[in-house]
Amino acid sequence: MFCKKDSILGVATELFSKKPYHMVAMDDIAKKARVAKGTLYYHFKSKEELYVALLQDGLDNLLVRLKAESGADAVADLKLFINGLSSFFNERKDFFEVLKREEGKLLSKRLKNCYEKTCSIRDLLHSILDKGITEGHFRKDIDIQIVSEIIIGMIESAISGNIETQRLSNAIVDVLIHGIMA
């Protein structure tokens, strides 16, 4: 069931994806969401609370999606992770834009919970890579932290380029597993 709160979060995400935080007013959100300002403040006590809620909601949904599937081995898990992350960001481009803008600020006190959720996403990828090393699919000498950042960076960069999700996921996995050498 889609409720007013979800509608407000969707509208706020759209507006914050187009303008920086300080340029979006609660009035703008209420007007676009077609709710009274009192309804907006009933669900969210402040603009900051609304902003944090939209980041937490998006990250919660992303984590649920990434944890929902697992494959037969680490290679399959890596493919599922890359496809899941790519699909999510492609389907929710407004959220992707907001998250990308906020990435450097997630260490602030008000966004601590969001930072922890992004760490959980990276931890999930770390565990897939570690599993691949244990299973003998991935080299033992890889730096899991660096490879994780490379994978996430490849996805983030490619999403901005409007490449079809499955094609993007397949290309990233292919480059990771087989490299680019002839």
Residue stretches of the chain with pLDDT short of 70: 1-2, 103-104, 106-107, 182
pLDDT computed for residue 69 by the predictor: 84
Tell me which residue has tokens 């609370």. 49
**Cβ neighbours for 77, distance < 8 A, ≥ 6 positions apart:** 70, 71, 128, 131, 132
- pLDDT tens-digit readout, 53-82: 999 999 999 999 999 988 889 999 999 999
Look-up of token digits 């492609």? 90
Structure tokens at 63: 């984590």
Q: For domain 47-178, give the CATH superfamily.
A: Tetracycline Repressor, domain 2 (1.10.357.10)
pLDDT given at position 24: 94
**First vs last Cα of the chain: how many Å apart?**
52
* Per-domain residue ranges of the chain: 47-178
- Asked whether 83 and 165 are in contact (CB, 8 A), the reply is yes
Neighbour count for residue 126 (Cβ, 10 Å): 15
Instruction: Give pLDDT, residue 156.
Output: 85
Residue with tokens 């490849």: 154
Residue whose entry in the numeric block shows the structure tokens 């292919």:
174
